[in-house]
Amino acid sequence: MRFHPDHELHRRRASRNYGLGAVLLAFAAMIFGLSLVKARENGVPGLEAARQKAAAAAEAGTTGEGRP
């Protein structure tokens, strides 16, 4: 079975689709990067409380799960 060569319209449409895919991928990477930066600047909610609880459990000699 022989395949017919692509028409010019299909090649242009494919080129546009690749370009749009690259733009969307760059946008997603930018949003992900901004999220990481914001998380580092503001910290993770509840992280400090969890650290304090773990430190208190370590001083008491427990694992924090109610077991010594």
pLDDT tens-digit map of 3-22? 777 788 888 888 999 999 99
For residues 23, 26, 31, 32, the Cα torsion angle rounded to the nearest 10 degrees is: 150
- Residues 36 and 56: their CA atoms lie apart, in Å, by 29
pLDDT tens digits for 32-61?
999 988 888 777 667 778 888 888 888 887
CA distances (Å), 57 to each of 16, 21, 46, 53, 68, in order?
58, 50, 16, 6, 10
